[in-house]
Structure 1
C-alpha cells in the first residue's frame, strides 16, 4: 500500500484525524508516533512527557509521592507547556526548559507514582483532551490510555506492541549501552507492571488495531502504522 509522505500529508485534510497510539515501554511508540505525525502533517503529543514533568516538579519541590492528595494538588497547580510540533521536543515547567531533565533516571524511577495517582491522572487526561481539541483534531497522541480513556472516539486507535526481548534491546540501544540487563528490566518491565495496575496497555480493547513491531525495523513500523491509518480512516 502506498503510504509515502507525499500521499499521506493531505490524507483526510479538513476532517478530524486523531490517531491514538498506546503501548508498553520500549515498544517504540514515541519515535514511531512522532514520525507518523510528521508524515501526516499532524500535531504530536507525548503524554508520557507530561507525567514525567509532574514527577520532576514533585521531586524538585519535595512533594511526597506517596501522598495522593499532595500529588494531585501539585498536578493541578503545575504551569506546564509541551510542544505539539513533531520536529520540536520541548517541555516547559513555569517557563523553564525541562526537556532533558524529565528523562533523568530519578524521574524514570519515580514516574509510576504519579501515573498511578488517579487524581493526577484525571487532571492530565483533562489537559490532554484540551490539547487534542486545540490541534483541530489532527494529531497523533501516544501513551498508555489514549485509545481507551483520553481519546476513545479517535478515528484510528492502535496498540503498538513488541516482544519483551525486542523491547529490552531497544531500550538498551536507546540508552547507549549504559545500563546492565538488570537495570533495563527494572526500567522496562517493572515500570510496566506498576503502571498496568491502573491501565491495561498490553491487550487491545475493542476496535483497537494491534501492530506488533517485534520483527520490524523503524521504517517498517512507521509504514505499518500508516497502513492502519489509511485503512481505518479512509472514509
Structure 2
C-alpha cells in the first residue's frame, strides 16, 4: 500500500487508539499515539510537582523528558526519557488533568513538532484530537470518530476493569462529558471535525466494523 498518512480524530473513548493500532498493523504502518504523549507530560507534571497552570514549565518537561514508543509482545509501550510509563499515564489522576495540560499552546507546539517529524516519511496512522486540523492538515485520509457519551463511558469502564483500575461508572461518564466540553472549547487547537474528514459514528459498532468502514473510506480515495 502507498505510504500515506492517516489522521484519526475524535473525543475520549471513541475508539481512536484501538482502530489506529489495527490499521497500522494491517498496513504495516507506524502508529503514533498522540494522546499518550499529552498524558505523559501530565504524568510528569504530577511526578515533579509542576503546576498544571505553569505553561512554560510544562513545555520544558517535553524537552527534558523525550517521549518515545516501543512495540512489545504486550502491545505498544510508552517511555519518558527511558522510563516505562505505559500504565502510569492511564491512572485517574492523569485522566482528570490531561485536558488542562494539553490546552497550553507551548505544550502543544512542542509536541506537534515532534509528531510532524515522526510523520515526515509517511506510512503512519496518527490519532488524537487535532491531527487532521493542526498536526497533519495535509493527511491523505482523515477520519473523525464519534460515539454517545453513555457508550464511551461503558468502554472506558470495561477497559479500566480489565487493567485492574477501579473507578465508578458515573464518575467516568461525568469525566468524559467534562473532557468533551473542555476539548471542544479550548482556544488552542480545539476538537473539531476537519472539513475534509469522514465522520464515522461508532455507537453500536464493533471494532471490526469500524475498521472495515475506515478501510472502505481509504479504498474509496484510491489508495
Question: Which among 192, 203, 213 is matched to residue 214 of structure 1?
Answer: 203
- Classify 1:123/1:85 alpha carbon distance in 2 versus 1 (closer, same or farther; 3 Å): farther
Q: Superposed, which structure 2 residues align to 1:1-235 within 5 Å?
A: 11-12=1-2, 16-83=3-70, 88-133=75-120, 136-176=121-161, 178-196=166-184, 197=186, 198-201=188-191, 203-232=192-221, 234=222
Structure 1 stretch displaced more, 71-80 or 210-219: 71-80
**Conservation of the 8 A alpha-carbon contact between 2:55 and 2:104:** yes
- Classify 1:140/1:204 alpha carbon distance in 2 versus 1 (closer, same or farther; 3 Å): same
1:116 Cα shift? 0.6
Describe the SS at the equivalent of 1:206.
Answer: coil
The count of aligned residue pairs is 218
1:21 Cα shift? 0.2
Q: Distance between the aligned counterparts of 2:152 and 2:6, measured in 1?
A: 22
Describe the SS at the equivalent of 2:143.
Answer: strand
**Conservation of the 8 A alpha-carbon contact between 2:150 and 2:173:** no
Q: What's the TM-score, normalizing by structure 1? A: 0.86
Cα-to-partner distance string for 1:40-95 (whole Å, 9 max, x where unaligned): 11110110000011111111111111111211222232222123789741111121
Q: Distance between the aligned counterparts of 1:86 and 1:162, measured in 2?
A: 30
**Conservation of the 8 A alpha-carbon contact between 2:154 and 2:169:** no
1:180 Cα shift? 2.4
Q: Distance between the aligned counterparts of 1:114 and 1:192, measured in 2?
A: 15
Describe the SS at the equivalent of 1:128.
Answer: helix
Gaps of 5+ in 2: none
Q: Distance between the aligned counterparts of 2:66 and 2:208, measured in 1?
A: 36
Describe the SS at the equivalent of 1:211.
Answer: strand
**Conservation of the 8 A alpha-carbon contact between 2:7 and 2:142:** yes
Gaps of 5+ in 1: 1-10
1:204 Cα shift? 2.2
